[in-house]
Amino acid sequence: MLVLLGRTVSLSLAHRVITYSPPSLSRSVLVSSVIIKLRAKTTVSVSAASRNRGSMPERRPFVRLPTDVYPVNYGLSLKPDLIDFTFEGKLEALVEVTQATNQIVMNCADIDIITASFAPQGGEEINATGFNYQNEDEKVTLSFPSALQKGSGTLKIDFVGELNDKMKGFYRSKYTNPAGEVRYAAVTQFEATDARRAFPCWDEPAIKATFDITLVVPKDRVALSNMNAIDRKPCPDDENLVEVKFATTPIMSTYLVAFVIGEYDYVESQSSDGVMVRVYTPVGKAEQGKFALEVAAKTLPFYKDYFNVPYPLPKIDLIAIADFAAGAMENWGLVTYRETALLIDPKNSCSSTKQWVALVVGHELAHQWFGNLVTMEWWTHLWLNEGFASWIEYLCVDHCFPEYDIWTQFVSADYTRALDLDALDSSHPIEVNVGHPSEVDEIFDAISYSKGASVIRMLHNYIGDEDFRKGMNAYLLKFQHKNASTEDLWDCLEQASGKPIAAVMDSWTKQMGFPIIAIDQEQQGDDRILKISQKKFCASGPHNGEDCPTWMVPISICTSEDPKCTKLRVLLDRPETTVTLDGVSPDQWIKINPGTVGFYRIQYSSPMLESLLPGIRDLTLPPVDRLGLQNDLFSLSRAGMISTVEVLKLMEAFVLEPNYTVWSDLSCNLGVLSSLLSHTDFHEEIQEFIRELFAPVGLKLGWDSKPGEGHLDALLRGLVLGKLGKAGHKPTLEEAQRRFKDHVEGKHILPADLRSPVYLTVLKHGDSTTLDTMLKLHKQADMQEEKNRIERVLGAISAPDLIQKVLTFALSEEVRPQDTVSVIGGVAGSSKQGRKAAWKFIKDNWEELYNRYQGGFLIARLIKLTVDGFAVDKMATEVKSFFESHPAPAAERTVQQCCENILLNAAWLKRDADDIHQYLLRRKAPPV
């Protein structure tokens, strides 16, 4: 599943995030969040032991299903009512009784069982005499008057349920048909634990079975499931309905089952290895499925070659769903997507959305092997599914679109966001023991996805591509159609590479956090002696307690002689070591972690850092290393290890920077700083700094694309103009207002890549007329991408009464439920007033918001976007006490992380605000 893990970005132009609506290219990804009970007293300093472990939430009592009865095949028939929003179901499951029992325990939630019976093979049918629902544990116990004997039998259950509006289980999704009528589709989202809302089942990933699915649907609707339809016939008791029967699935987990009933058009093609690929779109928009179709048709053969295992089903469908909580879901053979993660209109889609669609398609199709064919044994190993797919999606996009320079973007989108989150005391290890369904929801966060992807990237680099592929192939063949754990993958990779994979990787997956690597050097003749040490890095400063954890750290070292070539590799397996580099003359610089692949921060000695800085100005350092250096220093300044002024001086060296992703990362960090300084009376001075830094590249790029420009130029232009416009750069503001007027009047429609920056700029400096115009554009927009683009920037408006109007709009019928979060988040991220107003709005409307998103990661995302930017100690107390009296189980850890971030922001402000102010004033002062 691709969850949208938003990172608050300086521009409301954020896209990835990841999940990730098109999350932000500035920094992406995906969010739910994992839980933790707030400590009674939230302080920034924490005991050494808890720092290493992560404070885990209180565990809810939980027991996995008993193993005395298990399913072999589910015969499932469902009949949804698209008017009354209910469904009827019939289950005939072939089961195996492994030891005599007079009860069967299954998962079941929000379903009423009408009748249940069990017939042993060749024996009499026995009716169940009682159904005991354990609602808290989402289980039902069927009781029988006599013991069910060991052997095969058929379990029959008739049941009814609700097509809910919570975007989970079997739910309804609202859409408008081309004639303007409001209609509903019936769709599914089962990961992690919601198949039990559609039919009683053994809803655990290791209890695999085959499925024979029949859907009884209106005859004018499309009906889809994991497999191809093998029969479609009129329903005997209603001529308006048809029964659609699908082929038997391979053995699979319940969370990957899917069905969709609605009105759709499609485009299709066949991949070079003979798989039928279709992209289903809203009616009348088939053209918008062509880009995703092209990506999918290239991707399937790529993965088949990479894994050396063929795609195991006859077809794959990709379908756009109107109301969809995540970014996408990898149901086997029927992948569901948000419209904005699948549909591309050549005239109205911007470059970042195209890139997002390519990544999401790559992510979900990777799961068809890694997750679906071989499935994690339990949710503790979820990270393996998601971390792996979040890594290989980039490999796939790099193969399909080399011009995207996507691996550099990975560092900004996934790697740095994971480092930021994992430096918190309230982080958690990659592998988390989870039990209760509400705990499972919480691990769909940036640690599972982005840190998972980052350590797999580090592992791939450590092993080498050839041995990595060999190990992956062995793993998939050994465990296909079965379940596996993290250790199983390490075994296969260890055998393929002969390296101590388990020993190295356990230090990265079983303990939270990561090291900061400190480097010092000494020249001896023609040799450079390096002293390398590691310590746990914490967002509040270096770990100084006893009992400091260590990691097995693969370290690469290069020199200015060849910055792209590794001169020496060492595995740092102790707190410190010394290494010698031969033949390095005194005038050469040394760089650790070329390619920014190792998952750690670096602190160079002052002379070593000084020697690297010219490589930023003259671009001899590769882009990914320029980015990594700046990002490390920014992170050290937040942790109080260096002054923020040092980072501002470094940022000035980037004035001639040509690379989009480097600018994107700078922009993100300046956005964080700008948000921090909104709590001071010199916020305008940092805006001036931003204007001066971005103006030369803005001038060079201009407003209109030039012949020969590509994807990255378009992304850079949008980023820079939006940054300048938001910071109040006068020429940019005037041009944006002129172009906006032409756009609204229909004289000259804005190219898609300029819409976000222009909308943002005119709103930031606009009035009630501007807002009304923007809301009118929103209403007229036919494409969800355009609606989302407007929704994400509405919060930039400045007047208090208009901020309230935007917040009210967020909960209106005009905004799809999954998008409300980005409207409120946009308000909170735009200004100090917006942050206060958004927090008050959440408190005032908590009941409605919580009811809308109760489980799931959207509530966690909403909380994070709203409160993460506060920088006053007392706000941490206020947030903590609000959620103590208004509990949100799926966001407990998010609340704790937010409180920690608020305290870190407050400490940062106290420590550095005066120095920053003085520095900004000195820059303005005329030279004496």
Give me the active site residues, please: 364
CA 326 to chain centroid? 9
| Assigned token pair, 427 | 């982080």
Whether the CB-CB separation of 597 and 457 falls below 8 Å is answered with yes
Whether the CB-CB separation of 866 and 824 falls below 8 Å is answered with yes
Rounded distance, CA 883 to CA 888, Å?
A: 7
Residues 6+ apart with CB under 8 A from 29: 3, 4, 5, 6, 7, 16, 17, 18, 19, 20, 23, 390, 413, 414, 417, 446, 449, 450
Strand partners of residue 670? none
Burial class (CB in 10 A: 0-12, 13-18, 19+), 748: exposed
What is the maximum span of the chain, computed from C-alpha positions, in angstroms?
102
Residue 370: strand, helix, or coil: strand
Rounded distance, CA 471 to CA 600, Å?
A: 25
Burial class (CB in 10 A: 0-12, 13-18, 19+), 578: exposed
Q: How many CA atoms lie within 13 A of 85 on its CB side?
A: 11
The residue type of 139 is K
| Assigned token pair, 513 | 């956090």
Which is nearest to 704 in space by CA: 762, 753, 664, 662?
753
Which residue bears the tokens 């580099």?
Answer: 581
Which residue bears the tokens 């070292």?
Answer: 557
Residue 77: strand, helix, or coil: strand
| Assigned token pair, 146 | 């006599």
Which is nearest to 599 in space by CA: 437, 813, 391, 441?
391
Rounded distance, CA 117 to CA 68, Å?
A: 17
DSSP state of 654: T
Which is nearest to 795 in space by CA: 33, 9, 25?
9
Interstrand relation of 222-225 and 229-235 (parallel, antiparallel or unpaired): unpaired
Which is nearest to 904 in space by CA: 421, 537, 539?
539
DSSP state of 289: G
CA 624 to chain centroid? 22
Whether the CB-CB separation of 320 and 343 falls below 8 Å is answered with yes
Q: Crossing angle for the helix pair 711-726 and 683-701, nearest 10 degrees?
A: 150
Note the residue count of the chain: 928
The per-residue DSSP string of 471-483 comes to HHHHHHHHHTTEE
The neighbour count for residue 510, using CB atoms within 10 Å, is 11
Q: How far is CA 615 from CA 559, 596, 654, in A?
A: 11, 15, 11
The neighbour count for residue 899, using CB atoms within 10 Å, is 24
Q: How far is CA 391 from CA 30, 396, 450, 456, in A?
A: 13, 9, 8, 7
Sign of the C-alpha dihedral computed for residues 633, 637, 640 and 645 taken in this order: positive
Strand partners of residue 76? 91, 213
Three-class SS of 85-137: CEEEEEEEEEEEECCCEEEEEEECCCEEEEEEEEEECCCCCEECCEEEEEHHH
Q: Using alpha carbons only, how large is the chain's radius of gyration in Å? A: 28
Cα of first residue to Cα of last residue in the chain, in angstroms, is 60
